[in-house]
Amino acid sequence: MAEQYPTLAGGQRITGALLRSMLPLFARKTADTARAATTAATADPHLQFDVEANAVYSMDGWIKYDGPTAADLNLDWSAPTGALGEWYCWGTGHSPVITFSAAGAAQLDTQGGRGYPVRTETNDITAARSFGCLGTGITPLTLTLGGILRVGSTAGTYSCDWAQLVSDASPVTLYTDSWLRLQRIA
pLDDT tens per residue, range 30-44:
999 999 999 999 999
Using a pLDDT cut of 90, give the percent of the chain over it. 68
Within 10 A of 109 (CB to CB), how many other CB atoms are there?
11
Q: What is the pTM of this model?
A: 0.86
Alpha-carbon separation of residue 171 from 67, 81, 164, 167 (angstroms): 6, 31, 8, 9
For residue 111, what pLDDT is reported? 47
Greatest CA separation found in the chain? Answer: 66
